[in-house]
Amino acid sequence: MPLTGPARGETSRLGALLDHFSVIEDPREPWRVAYPLPEVLLLVVCGTIADCDDYDHIAAWGEAHLPFLRQILPYHHGVPGGRWLTLLMNRIDPALFSACFTAWVRETWPERPDLVAIDGKTSRRSHDRSAGKAPLHLVSAFATTSRLVLGQEAVADKSNETTAIPVLLDRLAARDGLKGATVSIDAIACNATIAQAITDVGADYLLAVKANQPTLRSEIEDYFANAPADILDSVIDLDKGHGRIEERSVTVSRETEWLAGERRFPGELRLPGATTIIKVRSRTELKDRCRTDTRYYISSAALTAEAAAHAVRGHWGIENRLHWVLDVVFGDDQARLRTGHGAKNMAVVRHFAINLVRAVADKKSLKLRRKLAGWDVKYLASILGLPLR
């Protein structure tokens, strides 16, 4: 059944995607271009959705489904081979590609996110030992309520996340994109610079306090150990499933004057606008053992215990709803792209694919949706938001 209407219809996610692809600078000389960049990027995104995890598979899928692709773009010279795809994806500027992704997400899903989790992930097989190149580490922003990837920034390693996060925040904050949101980040970002960067764009921060801030953590521990019960707000959350029972006790206090800058000694951490401190104690019963864990957080938002529990649980969800999906469903840790910008750009392509596949309104798993997209172009068209007749 052929596709109907132009690919660039106002309501088509694919139409918006092609419009944003068209502004990415092509690194090749125009007279040598047989495969226009939008055609290449559309092929890579469609192949990735259709359960192809390397360029050879994507090229083979494109060759087999060329009539489908030609209903969207011309493809006068067919599709390039896997080697050619590798060379071109290595040359595309990853910063421009990431900016294209963020702009597409904002146009296609214009609602402002309420909870945004920022965390890093390493693509373990993207290293190149012979060249002394470390594996790709990508810092991603994830809207936890809508389960939508918002943007990403590549860094050399985990220790450089603190330099990438402000860049990512600036990109997401354009046109008040983060205004009113709560941005949660792990302990590596528990510093005044990042806290100020978040509040400057009209958002609130929720920062974990761990061993990298031993003095602050110790002070918060002592506070909750001695605080009168009548100034604390608490809630208990019970979670069952996967052979375990987890009970989480969340306690918050808004008595944070002692964290103010004028009350701190020189050299001590000062977080601007700290309003709520949070204690999360979890007790997990497994089949053969029981474990407990206590975590602490600081937020600039005036959170109740219930709201804090929701925000903290949302941040933990980035591991299951993004990182786990990348590894298990999209094979991110098995990808062996090691030269040029290929690993960075394919990481962005996977984010394109995740957002599109997750937006489908059926009850199938993400893995099954990818399989069906590879088998049936009608189903792939529905993922892309294209009308059928």
* Contact of 162 with 190, CB cutoff 8 Å: no
- Shared domain check, 251 and 161: yes
d(CA 23, CA 21): 6
Rounded alpha-carbon distances, angstroms, from residue 205 to 78, 137, 154, 198, 249? 49, 23, 22, 6, 21
Of 74-83, 135-144, 173-182, 195-204, which range is least confident? 135-144
* Contact of 248 with 237, CB cutoff 8 Å: yes
Residue 370 pLDDT exceeds 90: yes
Residue 129, classified by CB atoms within 10 Å of its CB into exposed (0-12), middle (13-18) or buried (19+), is exposed
- Asked if residue 213 belongs to a domain, the reply is yes
d(CA 16, CA 291): 48
- Asked if residue 336 belongs to a domain, the reply is no
The string of DSSP codes covering 145-184 is: TTTEEEEEEEESSGGGHHHHHHHHHHHHHGGGTTTT-EEE
Confidence (pLDDT) at 361? 87
Residue 232 pLDDT exceeds 60: yes
In this predicted model, which residue has the larger pLDDT, 69 or 333?
A: 69
- Shared domain check, 310 and 250: yes
- Shared domain check, 121 and 45: no
Q: What is the CATH number of the domain that holds 205?
A: 3.90.350.10
- Shared domain check, 181 and 156: yes
In this predicted model, which residue has the larger pLDDT, 272 or 106?
A: 106
- Shared domain check, 86 and 25: yes
Confidence (pLDDT) at 175? 87
Which two structure tokens, joined as six digits, stand for 27?
Answer: 């690194």
Last residue of a domain, one of 303, 328, 353: 328
Angle CA(25)–CA(26)–CA(28) in degrees, nearest 5? 145
- Shared domain check, 18 and 113: no
- Shared domain check, 370 and 245: no
Residue 9 pLDDT exceeds 60: no
- Asked if residue 115 belongs to a domain, the reply is yes
- Shared domain check, 374 and 248: no
Instruction: Please provide the size of the chain in residues.
Output: 389
- Shared domain check, 259 and 233: yes
Confidence (pLDDT) at 141? 95
- Asked if residue 335 belongs to a domain, the reply is no
Average pLDDT over residues 288-311: 92
Confidence (pLDDT) at 344? 86
- Asked if residue 42 belongs to a domain, the reply is yes
- Shared domain check, 172 and 110: yes
- Asked if residue 333 belongs to a domain, the reply is no
- Shared domain check, 201 and 298: yes
* Contact of 297 with 213, CB cutoff 8 Å: no
Average pLDDT over residues 342-358: 91
Last residue of a domain, one of 305, 328, 351: 328
- Shared domain check, 212 and 79: no
- Asked if residue 8 belongs to a domain, the reply is no
Last residue of a domain, one of 304, 328, 352: 328
- The total domain count for the chain is 2
Range of the domain at 197: 97-328
Confidence (pLDDT) at 125? 52
The whole-model pTM stands at 0.87
Confidence (pLDDT) at 134? 58
Residue 2 pLDDT exceeds 60: no
Cβ neighbours for 341, distance < 8 A, ≥ 6 positions apart: 89, 90, 91, 92, 93, 94
d(CA 238, CA 249): 9
* Contact of 234 with 243, CB cutoff 8 Å: no
Confidence (pLDDT) at 10? 42
CB burial of 284-311 (b: ≥16 within 10 Å; e: otherwise) equals eeeeeeeeeeebbbbbbbebebebbbbb
- DSSP H or E run through 115: strand 115-123
- Residue ranges in the chain assigned as alpha helix (H): 13-21, 37-49, 55-64, 66-70, 82-91, 94-108, 161-173, 192-200, 214-226, 305-318, 324-328, 342-358, 366-375, 377-384
- Asked if residue 334 belongs to a domain, the reply is no
* Contact of 300 with 205, CB cutoff 8 Å: yes
